[in-house]
Amino acid sequence: MKIASVSLLAPLLLVGCSNQSLYNSIQANQEEECRMQPPGQQEQCFARIDTDYEEYERQRQEVLED
């Protein structure tokens, strides 16, 4: 029974990790684009993308529930 439970949960855990990895990669690319902005615009750019994965996922779930 425990093996069946673990084998059913493993794909869900992997999807969660890959979603967060994808989010982190996109975030890193956005940060690099912010660094290429003129100095006066960098701060605004960083402020727009300043959302951690947990907050992003919470907002995403709210939208999906509507």
Domain of 17, in residue numbers = 2-65
pTM for the model stands at: 0.64
Q: How many domains does the chain have?
A: 1
Q: Determine contact, residues 47/37, Cβ cutoff 8 Å.
A: no
Polymer length in residues for the chain: 66
What's the pLDDT tens digit per position in 23-53?
999 999 999 999 999 998 999 999 999 999 9
Q: Determine contact, residues 23/59, Cβ cutoff 8 Å.
A: no
What pLDDT is attached to residue 1? 45
Instruction: Look up tokens 């605004």; give the residue.
Output: 44
The residues, any chain, with a CB within 8 Å of residue 30's CB and separated by 6 or more, are 49
